[in-house]
Amino acid sequence: MHSPVLAIRRTPLVAVYGTLKRGLRNHHWLTGAEFIGADTLSDVTLYDLGHCPGAKAEPSHGIDVELYRVDAQGLRDLDRLEDYRVRAPRNGTYDRIVHRTAFGLAWLYLYNLDVTGCPAIRAGGWPGTP
């Protein structure tokens, strides 16, 4: 049996919750990715950073996400967009973790920086999402 991380590297799913969602300014980064579906995550809270949201692993009433299947290059592109640093994940703006969704394991970007003073969003989605 393969480990979950190895399995996800073969056919990576990515859960997005902000500007990467359909109709928003960074969705073009998912050109060529396959839309899998929508889900609600109750162990993630969003923080409104102004220009985008940042997610923290905290209980919520359900945060709306979209799931996409991306190839290895697509995942590398998203890592660059999110300032995820493979060799030092806690040093980037976002860390990338494996998270359970209704569609199986998916990558989820968590915000590494301080959110003091940023409004918490514990249900639904970021104000900029459709």
The domain limits of the chain are 4-124
Q: Give the mean pLDDT of 54-74.
A: 96
Indicate the CATH number of 4-124 among 3.40.50.10190, 3.10.20.30, 3.10.490.10, 1.10.3720.10. 3.10.490.10
Residue 58 among the catalytic residues: no
Q: Phi and psi of 117, rounded to 5°?
A: 85, -5
State the Cα–Cα distance between residues 37 and 48, nearest whole angstrom.
Answer: 24
**CA torsion through residues 53, 58, 61, 63, sign:** positive
State the Cα–Cα distance between residues 33 and 26, nearest whole angstrom.
Answer: 13
Exactly one of 34, 58, 66, 82 is catalytic; name it.
82
State the Cα–Cα distance between residues 37 and 84, nearest whole angstrom.
Answer: 24
> Residues of the chain with pLDDT > 70: what percent?
89
Q: What predicted TM-score, i.e. pTM, was given to this entire model? A: 0.90
Q: What digits encode the pLDDT tens for the residues 70-91?
A: 999 999 999 999 999 988 988 9
